[in-house]
């Protein structure tokens, strides 16, 4: 039984993943996706997989002994050392020697530092909103191992962020949540607790996805409904253990004790019941009340970015005018250094665009543009114009005015449902990042074409969804929401 910082990270996304990684039947695991392999290569997701890939416990022991020897000898800096205390095993990116306190090692001790591809402190409107818990947990885990090895703990934690800056956080702010998470990870890895699958967006990158999907579909688990996720445990507690029960529930019963469901009012329950009915019927339900901007040029817009490099590499647009033709154009950074040049070109494109609507399928575009505006001090008036023209098909249309028999309302699920097909046999944003990284290595024209085709198809998928709703409003009357 080995516990790594990766287990704590996985736990923050899905407790069942921790259980399955320790006790699941490996023959049921899907192939590790190309994107996850890319993350391994970049050192962003390592330990348990790394250890499994090596398949050799002796190697860890040897490395742990070597690292301890270096620590005892007082090496100034240890890069990717292995630290081990009992069944806790870690590979901090850096161990830095500090001399402001004594430890079992002598007049010095070591502090673990992680090198991250993102930023630890999250910000909104220029103000810090909090330090990322999963970064903090990783450092706290290494500190815990080091405490056993050297008998000393520094009070603050550090990570080196994507801008090569040292970021600091107070370890005490995370200690109680960390201890709670570690205790549960211990139980899951020991097999004392099993947890259950919870289908959600994190599942797409998980090698247990086919297994969990089968289980959820087979049992009619509530997490097979859009937007239920971890709340399924609250539903099960009051006896709503599958989708059939949700579809026929008497809502009034669940609005007051003893069956009151935390954080769910009448509106949310009505919506969930409708989704359960839609799921069982296998047909979407579209409600009246939506409208699209009139007399405007339609621009279907999709950004591709690579969070592992904190890089936005593609702005793709399909423009449809009154004649109904849809032309694809794009702005692409052929090297990471071209990001600024490309975003400036895009800014000029927006500045010159009049009387248009930018259809997108997430809040990501607006958030990315804002971040890039701040990064490169771009003209805010252009950003404001973009906001004025933007229409988010996901939150302003699909989520608000319809329900679908799918557990996710992502563009892939919804556009596929209305008959749209991607040209690529394996289309996904994660794969686009992999292709882009390969393209940076070998400059292949085929890869570039694949990236662009995928992005164009995402734009055209949005168009298909918008057209489906437009046609529906012409051909039907309102369908009442189930009560």
Residues that bind ligand SF4 in the complex, under the rule CB under 6 A = 14, 16-17, 20, 197-199, 202-203, 206, 208-209, 212
In the numeric block, the tokens 């107070």 are attached to: 170
Looking at the Cβ atoms of 204 and 287, the one nearer to ligand SF4 is 204
**Shortest spacing between CB 306 and ligand SF4, in angstroms:** 22
Looking at the Cβ atoms of 353 and 413, the one nearer to ligand SF4 is 413
Give the separation between CA 157 and CA 172, rounded to whole angstroms.
Answer: 10
Q: Give the other-Cβ count within 10 Å of 128's Cβ.
A: 10
**Shortest spacing between CB 22 and ligand SF4, in angstroms:** 12
**Shortest spacing between CB 198 and ligand SF4, in angstroms:** 5
Quick check: 390 and 365 in contact, CB under 8 A? yes
DSSP codes of every residue in 335-353: SGGGHHHHHHHHHHHHHT-
**Shortest spacing between CB 275 and ligand SF4, in angstroms:** 19
**Shortest spacing between CB 221 and ligand SF4, in angstroms:** 10
Looking at the Cβ atoms of 202 and 270, the one nearer to ligand SF4 is 202
**Shortest spacing between CB 191 and ligand SF4, in angstroms:** 15
The three-class DSSP label of residue 424 is coil
Give the separation between CA 202 and CA 341, rounded to whole angstroms.
Answer: 33
Give the separation between CA 132 and CA 297, rounded to whole angstroms.
Answer: 40
Looking at the Cβ atoms of 82 and 198, the one nearer to ligand SF4 is 198
**Residue 77's beta-bridge partner residues?**
96
Non-local (6+) Cβ contacts of 257 within 8 A are none
The three-class DSSP label of residue 77 is strand
The three-class DSSP label of residue 122 is strand
Looking at the Cβ atoms of 207 and 273, the one nearer to ligand SF4 is 207
- Give, in order, the Cα–Cα distances in Å from 344 to each of 12, 133, 140, 215, 459: 37, 34, 41, 48, 21
Planar angle of CA 338, 341, 344, nearest 5 degrees: 145
**Shortest spacing between CB 263 and ligand SF4, in angstroms:** 21
Looking at the Cβ atoms of 194 and 444, the one nearer to ligand SF4 is 194
Q: Which helix (H) or strand (E) covers residue 318, if one does? A: strand 311-320
**Shortest spacing between CB 196 and ligand SF4, in angstroms:** 8
**Shortest spacing between CB 411 and ligand SF4, in angstroms:** 20
Q: Which two tokens stand for residue 30?
A: 């899907």
Looking at the Cβ atoms of 109 and 407, the one nearer to ligand SF4 is 407
Give the torsion through C-alpha atoms of 12, 13, 19, 25, to 10 deg.
-150
Looking at the Cβ atoms of 197 and 222, the one nearer to ligand SF4 is 197
Looking at the Cβ atoms of 85 and 202, the one nearer to ligand SF4 is 202
**Shortest spacing between CB 214 and ligand SF4, in angstroms:** 10
In the numeric block, the tokens 């022991």 are attached to: 61
Quick check: 331 and 309 in contact, CB under 8 A? no
**Residue 257's beta-bridge partner residues?**
none
Looking at the Cβ atoms of 253 and 408, the one nearer to ligand SF4 is 408
């Amino acid at each position: 039984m080995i516990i790594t910082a990766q287990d704590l990270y996985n736990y923050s996304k899905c407790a069942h993943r921790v259980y399955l990684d320790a006790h699941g039947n490996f023959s049921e695991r899907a192939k590790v996706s190309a994107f996850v392999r890319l993350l391994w290569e970049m050192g962003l997701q390592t330990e348990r997989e790394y250890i499994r890939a090596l398949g050799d416990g002796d190697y860890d022991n040897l490395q742990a002994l070597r690292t301890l020897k270096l620590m005892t000898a007082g090496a100034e800096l240890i890069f990717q050392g292995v630290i081990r205390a009992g069944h806790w095993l870690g590979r901090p990116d850096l161990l830095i020697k500090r001399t402001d306190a004594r430890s079992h090692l002598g007049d010095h001790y070591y502090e673990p530092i992680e090198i991250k591809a993102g930023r630890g402190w999250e910000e909104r409107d220029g103000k810090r909103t909090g330090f990322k818990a999963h970064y903090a947990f990783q450092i706290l885990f290494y500190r815990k191992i080091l405490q056993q090895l050297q008998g000393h703990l520094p009070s603050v934690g550090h990570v080196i962020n994507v801008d090569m800056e040292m970021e600091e956080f107070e370890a005490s702010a995370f200690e109680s949540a960390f201890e709670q998470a570690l205790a549960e990870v211990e139980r899951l890895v020991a097999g004392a607790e099993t947890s259950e699958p919870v289908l959600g967006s994190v599942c797409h990158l998980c090698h247990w996805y086919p297994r969990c999907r089968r289980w959820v579909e087979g049992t009619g688990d509530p997490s097979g409904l859009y937007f239920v996720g971890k709340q399924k445990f609250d539903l099960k507690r009051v006896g709503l253990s599958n989708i059939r029960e949700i579809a026929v529930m008497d809502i009034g019963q669940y609005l007051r004790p003893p069956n009151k469901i935390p954080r769910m009012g009448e509106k949310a329950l009505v919506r969930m019941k409708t989704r359960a009915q839609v799921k069982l019927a296998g047909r979407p339900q579209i409600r009246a009340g939506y409208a699209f901007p009139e007399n405007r040029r339609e621009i279907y817009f999709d950004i591709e970015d690579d969070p592992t490099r904190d890089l936005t590499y593609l702005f793709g647009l399909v423009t449809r005018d009154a004649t109904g033709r849809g032309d694809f154009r794009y702005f692409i950074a052929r090297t990471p250094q071209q990001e600024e040049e490309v975003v400036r070109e895009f800014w000029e494109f927006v500045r010159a665009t009049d009387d248009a609507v930018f259809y997108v399928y997430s809040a990501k575009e607006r958030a990315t543009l804002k971040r890039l505006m701040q990064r490169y001090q771009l003209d805010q008036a252009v950003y404001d114009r973009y906001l004025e023209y933007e229409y988010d098909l996901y939150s302003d249309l699909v989520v608000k005015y319809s329900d679908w028999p799918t557990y996710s309302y992502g563009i892939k699920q919804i556009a596929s449902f209305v008959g749209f097909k991607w040209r690529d046999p394996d289309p996904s944003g994660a794969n686009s990042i992999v292709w882009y990284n390969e393209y940076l290595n070998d400059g292949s024209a085929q890869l570039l074409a694949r990236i662009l085709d995928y992005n164009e198809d995402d734009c055209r998928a949005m168009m298909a969804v918008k057209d489906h709703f437009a046609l529906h409003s012409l051909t039907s009357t309102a369908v009442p929401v189930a009560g």
